[in-house]
Amino acid sequence: MKVLFFISSMRGGGAERVMSILCNHLTNRGHEVFLATNTSIPFAYTLDENVKIIDLYKENHSTKNKLLYFLRLYQNIRSIIKTIRPDISVSFIWSLNVHVLIAKTGLSAPVITSEHSTFTRISSRYEYFVRICLNKLAKKVIVLTEKDANFIGNRLNRMVIPNPLSYTPTTSKKERRENILAVGSIDRWEGKGFDNLIRIWSNIHKQYPGWVLEIAGTGKSENFNYLKSLAQDLGVSSSVVFLGFQKEINLLMQNSSVFVLASKYEGFPMVLNEAMSQGCACASFDCNTGPAEIITHNKNGLLVENQNMDKMQQTLSRLLNDKTLREKLSKNAIKDVERFSPGLIVDKWEKVMTEVRRETLKLN
């Protein structure tokens, strides 16, 4: 099968990581894979040499006129589809999906769109129009959670395919450090709840001398400075460590005792899956979509009522006090996340692409 993928860039992030996994696995399975993206931005993830890269933006990189920019983008997308003549086109992330769906009008290749943000947080009429109304032009809409699928109902032809694991589940038996780890973009500290996490830590840190709260992730200096000032004001600057960018986040997770997801909202938190696969004992706010479909409470992790600071404080204290509980959650998590293995997730993608192609051939 000839598959054409579209994504705005491969600079790094959850959707980009999923894209690299899909491209590589489908190529290894004998499919002819093309990836149209921004080639002027460095790729954060390695692609198989047989994946054919296409510049999605061409001479559009320096265009400042918005109307001209979008006209050229539509022309580029349409030209790429007509030149490649794929059996299936797949577009990632709604801000690009809208352009692919409009540009492909009148062309025979069916389009599957993949949504990586929850539908439950649609914030404007424009976003509703793009993600609900225009997505009707897609042959299939891939969502990440059952909660999103239920929210959409029968308004779209949707299917749930969660994100695949990024790392092989660990087999390491080495002793873990006395730390609580959080991971995410520092520029998105409010949505990631890093400020609340520091406040929670300030209430319990004196009970756990030797333990530290570590936050890994990149961001602008002003956002780092805000969180560092907050930690200093709360008297925990000596036990809150900002790690910055970590190239081998899996090794960091393998050495960490506790992982916490303090987010106020998520789509499908890959970082939670990653932490579980590396044997962290995980605690997560039960935010709108994602954590409840990954964690079974008290079995492979601990779920906390969304943004209930007191309950999260109690939960972290429970984890830090009970090494036996941490070891149980770690062992169960490593075993349970195998349901998100890349092979199984790519099986689902391959199946839906085959079905969409077959249905399209019947109609034609």
Domain ranges across the chain: 2-163+341-363, 177-339
Under 8 Å between Cβ of 159 and 144: no
Contacts of 349 (CB under 8 A, 6+ apart): 22, 26, 142, 161
Identical fold at 2-163+341-363 and 177-339? yes
pLDDT at 47: 97
Instruction: In whole angstroms, give the CA distance from residue 290 to residue 145.
Output: 6
The H or E element that residue 135 is part of is none
Looking at residue 360, its pLDDT comes to 85
- Decide: 302 and 322 in contact? Cβ < 8 Å: no
For position 123, what pLDDT does the model report?
87
The answer to whether 223 touches 187, Cβ cutoff 8 Å, is yes
pLDDT in the model for residue 364:
64
Tell me what pLDDT residue 60 has: 64
Looking at 3.40.50.150, 3.40.50.2000, 3.40.50.620, 3.30.565.10, the CATH number of the domain 177-339 comes to 3.40.50.2000
CATH number (3.40.50.2000, 3.30.70.1150, 3.60.15.10, 3.10.20.30) of 2-163+341-363 reads 3.40.50.2000
Q: What is the pLDDT of residue 62?
A: 64
**Residue 164, exposed/middle/buried by CB under 10 A (0-12, 13-18, 19+)?**
buried
Q: How many residues does the chain have?
A: 364
Tokens (6 digits) for 14 = 């959850």
At residue 290, what is the residue type? Answer: G
Residue by residue, pLDDT tens for the chain (364 residues) are 999 999 999 987 889 999 999 999 999 999 999 999 999 999 989 999 999 999 998 866 666 788 888 888 999 999 999 999 999 999 999 999 999 999 999 998 899 999 998 999 898 999 999 999 999 999 999 999 999 999 999 999 999 999 999 899 998 888 999 999 999 999 999 999 999 999 999 999 999 999 999 999 999 999 999 999 999 999 999 999 999 988 899 999 999 999 999 999 888 899 999 999 999 999 999 998 889 999 999 999 999 999 999 999 999 999 999 999 999 999 999 999 999 999 999 999 999 999 999 998 877 6
Q: Which residues contact 103 (CB under 8 A, 6 or more apart)?
A: 73, 74, 75, 77, 78, 81
What pLDDT is attached to residue 61? 61
Give the neighbor-by-neighbor strand order of the sheet with 212-216: 240-244, 212-216, 177-183, 256-261, 281-285, 302-304
Q: CA-CA distance, 364 to 108, in Å (whole number)? A: 9
